[in-house]
Amino acid sequence: MSDELPAPPPIAREVFTGDAWARAEAYAQLLAGPGVVRGLLGPREVPRIWDRHLLNCAVIAEAIPDKPGHLEASSGDGITASTPVRVVDIGSGAGLPGLVLAIVRPDITVTLLEPLLRRTVFLEECAAALGLDNVEVLRGRAEELKGKRVFDVATARAVAPLGRLLTWSMPLLREGGELIAMKGERAAEELAESDAELRAAGAQSAELISVGHGKVEPPATLVRVVAGRQSPPGGGGRRRRRR
């Protein structure tokens, strides 16, 4: 298992720099070993851990803003330009992309949101083993956080169709916050099919972007959706379509 793990490609040292390099290597071993044994990663994925998983997730960091200062903040919530960008990784699974983002972006905080106990246990063990003090692991579903937590960015990889993902993520984002969804070859098709959900969610904008040029092949395709103003719990404002 862990002995099947290939050597990292040269480009990995350019993507994972400083302390991130040792953490990326350790995380690769955790995925290839305990991750496979406990069913969080398929054995056939081990030879592709670096290019398909670690590098492909790391380049998403290019789409994460450096500061939340440009995002709208409601008065009294304590958010300033010096506050770290707060990311929620919905359906984090084995930590892809959430743990990888925490490794390459120590300046942000990452909440790994995952409903299954065996996965949250693995995520907690990984965060501790890698010394990631910018990671929080929460067991639960996105719907359960509505009205309780707010984030600047939501990420997701292979979790659900975009339309459903919008209903989960938009209520967790502040106005101007962004959903960054890894969607691959069907990105354009899913975006076109989600027009009704985008309107219902009050999204400001939605677009396709690609990241990782010169680092991963092909570059990673993302859907970026900017959230509109959220109605306060029990208050007025734009009515939402019931789920």
At residue 75, what are phi and psi to the nearest 5 degrees? -65, 140
Residues 6+ apart with CB under 8 A from 240: 200, 201, 202, 231
Identify the DSSP state of 113.
E
Say how far apart CA 15 and CA 143 lie, in whole Å: 34
The answer to whether 157 is a known ligand-binding residue is: yes
In the block, residue with structure tokens 């984090």: 92
Say how far apart CA 207 and CA 209 lie, in whole Å: 6
Other Cβ atoms less than 10 A from the Cβ of 150: the count is 20
Other Cβ atoms less than 10 A from the Cβ of 74: the count is 12
How many residues can be counted in the chain? 243
Do 226 and 205 meet the contact criterion of CB atoms below 8 Å apart?
yes
The answer to whether 132 is a known ligand-binding residue is: no
Q: Which of 76, 154, 149 is nearest to 108 (CA)?
A: 154
Say how far apart CA 123 and CA 135 lie, in whole Å: 9
The answer to whether 242 is a known ligand-binding residue is: no
The answer to whether 96 is a known ligand-binding residue is: yes
The answer to whether 142 is a known ligand-binding residue is: yes
At residue 63, what are phi and psi to the nearest 5 degrees? -95, -5
Q: Which helix (H) or strand (E) holds 151?
A: strand 151-157
- Residue numbering of the annotated binding site for S-adenosyl-L-methionine: 91, 96, 142-143, 157
- Residue numbering of the annotated binding site: 91, 96, 142-143, 157
